[in-house]
Amino acid sequence: DAGVTQSPTHLIKTRGQQVTLRCSPKSGHDTVSWYQQALGQGPQFIFQYYEEEERQRGNFPDRFSGHQFPNYSSELNVNALLLGDSALYLCASSLAQRSSRETQYFGPGTRLLVL
């Protein structure tokens, strides 16, 4: 049973470019959440997709957008990259329960470096 997978593992971009990151959830999961983790800090919630719609969003600008496909996989897009977007981007999948018992399982992450 494959866990959460993400691609690519590493990425280097320059300021102003656009990037797309991909995530496949754990088998049986229907919800995908994206987090950004800067060096030395805990992950910060970007947004969450459920039933192919963005259900919730953290404090991130509209430059961050996403998509969920019918097979529950998801993409994170970031436009007009800034140096401050350099971080580890984490995808987490879960089975919707709407309680704090819902457990999110994380992928290995994509390390993005913006030059």
Partner 1 sequence: LAKTTQPISMDSYEGQEVNITCSHNNIATNDYITWYQQFPSQGPRFIIQGYKTKVTNEVASLFIPADRKSSTLSLPRVSLSDTAVYYCLVGLDTGRRALTFGSGTRLQVQP
The dihedral region occupied by 27, where left means phi > 0, alpha psi between -120 and 50, and beta the remainder, is beta
Nearer to partner 1, 16 or 68 (CB): 68
Minimum distance from CB of 32 to partner 1 (Å)? 11
What minimum distance in Å lies between the beta carbon of 30 and partner 1? 12
Residues that bind partner 1 (CB under 8 A): 4, 31, 33, 35, 41-45, 48, 55-58, 88, 90-92, 94, 96, 98-109, 111
- Given the complex with partner 1, which of 17 and 41 has the nearer CB atom? 41
Quote the Cα angle for 88-113-76, to 5°.
Answer: 55
Residue 53's DSSP bridge partners are: 50
Q: If you compute the radius of gyration of the chain from its CA atoms, what whole number of angstroms results?
A: 13
